[in-house]
């Protein structure tokens, strides 16, 4: 499997830390020193499928294929438009990918990684040629805007990857889950309500930041070590590491522990905040736009998030 197209879409509306401080007890200094975030994008009406569809079309255009060529659409999201139909099916309709099989997955912020690994397997087993993998979120609709510990962290956005079946491209893959730690990052579903019971609870993101930090830093280091070993590569062989953009302290700590070098870890959390499953793809798009990536560069993609989940890939850059 090789990458042949990427695309991103973020809302136009920028919300700075200073603006956010008008709504909740916080400050630019407080947020930046603890997270590295300076601003984020929030939707003014675009839902998850809207952002996903735009990112998808941009990736398809880069790949120079038709939407009708796509055999598979996988959307990773924790903020779907509907319980049913899937966001993937909505995207299929929006872009005209009438020949694709479609489904959503939920692996939290590791979702794009899970989607890419799943696509690799399905391209092989079902003899597909092209797959579209999307990470898309409108996290602003599941945020408690009175909770300064969480509302300052997240933003809205989407990213998409078009991949083609190939023997080259992916050098190693790794996935992991630790369900016993799921309580450290939660968002409730609908309350249980029927003719026999009437429960009430909210559906906001709740997070134990200390525990998530411990998990994330260990997960990144472990994942990269396994990926390098499985690909028979050394740290010096890696051109860049593209981590999930959750917190600058997590990235700095992991960069130090891996010994790869902070300069190889791409960071854009300052502009977008944590966009969950969209973040790695958004970062890749920025790197491509800046001309940072050269053909056959070995790039590590590594994610961690709700579940708790983690995972990564090493790819040969092919665009």
One domain for residues 135 and 267: no
One domain for residues 162 and 279: no
Q: How far apart are CA 232 and CA 137, in angstroms?
A: 35
One domain for residues 140 and 190: no
**Residue of 60, 92, 87, 63 whose CA lies nearest to 76:** 87
Integer angstrom CA distances of residue 28 from 53, 159, 213: 33, 27, 21
Q: How far apart are CA 172 and CA 232, in angstroms?
A: 9
One domain for residues 103 and 199: no
One domain for residues 16 and 155: yes
One domain for residues 143 and 233: no
Where among 147, 167, 187 does a domain terminate? 167
Q: What global pTM score does this model have?
A: 0.95
Burial label, 14 (beta-carbon count in 10 A; 0-12, 13-18, 19+): middle
One domain for residues 198 and 159: no
244 catalytic per annotation: yes
List the structure tokens of 302.
């590594």
Q: Output the tens digit of pLDDT for each of the chain's 319 residues.
A: 999 999 999 999 999 999 999 999 999 999 999 999 999 999 999 999 999 999 999 999 999 999 999 999 999 999 999 999 999 999 999 999 999 999 999 999 999 999 999 999 999 999 999 999 999 999 999 999 999 899 999 999 999 999 999 988 999 999 999 999 999 999 999 999 999 999 888 889 999 999 999 999 999 999 999 999 999 999 999 999 999 999 999 999 999 999 998 999 999 999 999 999 999 999 999 999 999 999 999 999 999 999 999 999 999 999 9
Where among 105, 135, 167 does a domain terminate? 167
How much of the chain, in percent, has pLDDT values that exceed 90?
95
The parent domain of residue 175 ranges over 171-316
109 catalytic per annotation: yes
| pLDDT score recorded for residue 172 | 97
User: What is the count of structural domains for the chain?
Assistant: 2
Q: Catalytic one among 151, 223, 274, 285? A: 274
One domain for residues 16 and 153: yes
106 catalytic per annotation: no
Integer angstrom CA distances of residue 314 from 112, 145, 159, 276: 14, 37, 18, 20
Q: What is the CATH number of the domain that holds 273?
A: 3.40.47.10
Q: Catalytic one among 9, 89, 102, 109? A: 109
One domain for residues 76 and 158: yes
Where among 112, 136, 167 does a domain terminate? 167
Q: Catalytic one among 102, 161, 244, 285? A: 244
Length of the chain: 319
């Amino acid at each position: 499997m090789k990458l042949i197209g990427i695309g991103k879409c973020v809302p136009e509306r920028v919300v700075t830390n200073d603006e956010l401080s008008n709504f909740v007890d916080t400050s630019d200094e407080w947020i930046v020193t603890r997270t590295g975030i300076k601003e984020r994008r929030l939707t003014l009406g675009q839902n998850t499928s809207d952002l996903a569809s735009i990112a998808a079309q941009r990736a398809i255009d880069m790949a120079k294929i038709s939407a009708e060529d796509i055999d598979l659409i996988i959307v990773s999201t924790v903020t779907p438009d509907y319980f049913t139909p899937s966001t993937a099916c909505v995207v299929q309709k929006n872009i005209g990918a009438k020949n694709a099989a479609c489904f959503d997955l939920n692996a939290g912020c590791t979702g794009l990684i899970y989607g890419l690994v799943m696509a690799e397997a399905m391209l092989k087993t079902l003899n597909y040629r092209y797959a579209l993998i999307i990470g898309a979120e409108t996290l602003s609709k599941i945020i408690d805007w009175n909770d300064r510990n969480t509302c300052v962290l997240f933003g809205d956005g989407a990213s998409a990857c078009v991949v083609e079946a190939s023997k080259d491209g992916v050098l190693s893959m790794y996935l992991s889950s630790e369900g016993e730690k799921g309580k450290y990052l939660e968002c409730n579903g609908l309350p249980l309500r029927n003719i026999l019971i009437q429960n009430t609870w909210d559906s906001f993101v709740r997070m134990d930041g200390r525990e998530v930090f411990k998990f994330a830093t260990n997960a990144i280091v472990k994942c990269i070590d396994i990926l390098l070993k499985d690909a028979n590569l050394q740290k010096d062989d890696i051109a860049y590491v593209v981590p999930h953009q959750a917190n600058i302290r997590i990235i700095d700590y992991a960069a130090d522990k891996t010994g790869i070098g902070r300069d190889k870890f791409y960071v854009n959390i300052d502009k977008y905040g944590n966009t969950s499953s969209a973040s790695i793809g958004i970062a890749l798009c920025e790197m491509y736009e800046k001309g940072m990536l050269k053909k056959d560069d070995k790039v590590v993609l590594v994610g961690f998030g709700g579940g708790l989940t983690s995972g990564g890939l090493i790819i040969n850059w092919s665009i």
